[in-house]
Amino acid sequence: MIEGHPKTDDFELFLMGASRSSHPATKAQMLRHLLSGCAVCQEHLDAMGWSRQRIARLLQPAVEVSRGSMPAAAASYDYSGAFGAAEKAVSAFLAPEQVSTEIPVQQILAELEALEEGARIGTVKSGGIYTSPPVIRALIERSHSLRYRNADEMLRLAQLARLAVEGCSASAAGNELKLADLRARAWGQYGTALRICGQPRAAEVALAASLEHRRQGTGDPALHAWLLERTSSLAIFQGRYEDAIAMCEEAGQIYQELGNDHSFAFTLIQKAIAILYSGEAAWAVRTLNQAIPLIDEKDPHLLVTACHNLIRCYIDLDRPDQALALYAETTELYKELDDQLFLLRMIWQEGLLLRDLGHLRAAETALVKARKGYLEEKLAYEVALVSLDLTTVYVKLGLVEEVRRTVLTTVPIFHALRVKLETLAALLQIQKVADQEQQALELIRTLHSLVEPLRHPAVDAQ
């Protein structure tokens, strides 16, 4: 020990699961230092590539279970029970995976992607290297990378990850707890892909399974925050804004404790979306302005997402000139991303801005283009929602037959997506008052309030 602090060697023994060989007094001191915020010990952990905050988060649940009868004098507390739980948590988290392959994971992934869907599923179900943790993680990451470009393929790859993890053994993952963590990630990505593809009920089931796997896992705080991000997106989708805000705040607190500013920025943006949909646009503006300086410049998608929602706030606050100015500043950013879904979002937003500024024919052109693009991408919700915005334009132009025709093509889409009956009723009513601008616009506003979580694509987890 040096000046009362554990040495780097002591931490290495503890974190590598070898603390049984350590003296009890040394172990007790390490636990106290890990949870107390000791600056000297933080330097040791930094040198080892570990975040003290993440370790503390990992140990805290286990320690608190053993701390129930802790006396006022901390020095007299028997840490033996806490150490049994803490050591188990750390050793489970650090357990090495047992599967290795000489074939690069990206090569395996490329071979899978080249197959037809049925052949992919059969190959993954055959097991072997296709159900190894590195391949499962690669499938999850690849699925996530396609969220703005190819939602269908995102879902297919997430489904492969889910199938693969069911064939993965505990020994391959390191232990049962790490296998549960891996299952939580695979099911979490699958649930996210289902939500993005317009299957909210299936997404809810998948995310519930993901949360249950996490509860059976190592207690990794980063995984907890990751799942909070995904469940908050679904909560926004379902109109549960207060729940979504609470989830974002909990995830944000974890990321702050882990020192991850970029992920904290993401949770702020997600929180702002929930706030915006709850009708508090001014509060959402403040939250977005808090997030933007924290965004990593290596993630232009997140910056564009923040700006996109800030523009939406200005529109809702009846500040179209300010919205248009910000839109002009971010247009080049949209184009540089070269992601089809982001570009469609840009066109959609342009149509809304032009509509609110009174340029109705130009707005019609933009919204028709966005609708066509979403049709080609087979994103039914987006097709229906852009159609509602297009209907508003036709009402303002006095084009009664266009209103009726657009509504008629929108009804079966909403029906297939199983929206609430009151939503369908409001939509059908628009046809009857298509020639009465005030009543038609009021109905559309009512309809927007019923489907507001779906109206603009919510930001997706990083």
299-355 pLDDT per residue, tens:
888 898 899 899 989 988 989 889 888 988 888 777 777 777 778 888 998 898 888
pLDDT at 66: 46
State how far Cα 208 lies from the chain centre: 15
Can you give the residue ranges of every domain in the chain?
A: 8-94, 103-219, 354-455
Q: Low-confidence residues of the chain, pLDDT below 70? A: 1-5, 7-96, 99-101, 417-420, 448-462
pLDDT at 86: 55
pLDDT at 56: 58
Burial class of residue 251 (count of CB atoms within 10 Å of its CB; 0-12, 13-18, 19+): buried
Average pLDDT, the chain: 81
pLDDT at 433: 79
196 is written with which tokens?
A: 């993005």
pLDDT at 282: 96
Q: Are 44 and 8 in contact (CB under 8 A)?
A: yes
pLDDT at 411: 82
- Which amino acid would we find at residue 155? L
pLDDT at 19: 43
Whole-prediction pTM: 0.71
pLDDT at 40: 65
Q: Are 89 and 124 in contact (CB under 8 A)?
A: no
Our CA dihedral for 194, 186, 136, 59, rounded to 10 degrees, sits at: 150
pLDDT tens, residue by residue, 94-131: 666 776 667 888 999 999 989 998 999 999 999 889 99
